[in-house]
Amino acid sequence: DGGITQSPKYLFRKEGQNVTLSCEQNLNHDAMYWYRQDPGQGLRLIYYSQIVNDFQKGDIAEGYSVSREKKESFPLTVTSAQKNPTAFYLCASSILAGVTETQYFGPGTRLLVL
């Protein structure tokens, strides 16, 4: 089955710790995205990548980092500089970065701070 997988489903972070959220897709999509969802605030774009080895900051990139070394993978690292990381993180992909293209979402990772 083609789709987007995110792991883990739940992730706990200690103070000062960096954690990495995994996002993998087997849809052969060029574009991938990371969103953060907080209650009542909709989705906010963290980073996006239109093609391998290239990515751009979204609206709330501070305290986060990404890499895009392979087409199917777009991991997100939440660094210790992100002071309020508790949220639901969603990864998405689309065939390419185009105005009419549909983004397909993974099941999400919930990050909690210990």
Distance CA 15, CA 44 (A): 23
CB-nearer residue toward other proteins: 63 or 105: 105
Q: Segment near other proteins (CB under 8 A), from 19-27, 64-72, 73-81, 106-114?
A: 106-114
Per rule CB under 8 A, is residue 106 in the interface with other proteins? Answer: yes
Contact letters for other proteins, residues 22-51 (x by CB under 8 A)? ---------x-x------xxxxxx--x-x-
For residue 26, how many other CB atoms are within 10 A of its CB?
Answer: 12
Q: Of 84 and 102, which has the nearer Cβ to other proteins?
A: 102
Strand order in the sheet with 19-25: 4-7, 19-25, 76-78, 64-66
Pairwise CA distance, residues 13 & 111, whole Å: 7
Min separation Cβ 10 and other proteins, Å: 11
